[in-house]
Amino acid sequence: MADATIAELKQKIAQAREVIAHLMDQAAFNGAEAHRALDYFTGDAFDADFLPWPHHEDEGLRPEELNAANDG
């Protein structure tokens, strides 16, 4: 991958983090999963299992079905 492409992708990830932080502020949402997302997008590491739900439609719970009891 060209250095320019890598730099652009890093900038895009930084933008994603800013969007998430802004949406959290606007929604007054300050839960554990939101902070987990911010922490993930702040770092350089890739986690194939980052998403809290399986990648296949027929397995597990979708985001709207997750229990947010650990938020807070």
Per-residue pLDDT tens for 19-60?
Answer: 888 888 888 777 787 888 888 888 888 888 887 766 555 555
Q: Are 54 and 60 in contact (CB under 8 A)?
A: yes
pLDDT at 69: 54
| DSSP element (H, E) containing 14 | helix 3-27
With 70 as the cut, is the pLDDT of residue 65 above it? no
Residue 6's φ and ψ, nearest 5 degrees, are: -65, -45
C-alpha–C-alpha distance, residues 41 and 15, integer Å: 9
Look up residue 14 and give its two tokens: 């930084």
Every domain of the chain and the residues it spans: 3-65
Ramachandran quadrant class, 22 (left: phi over 0; alpha: psi -120 to 50; beta: rest): alpha
pTM: 0.53
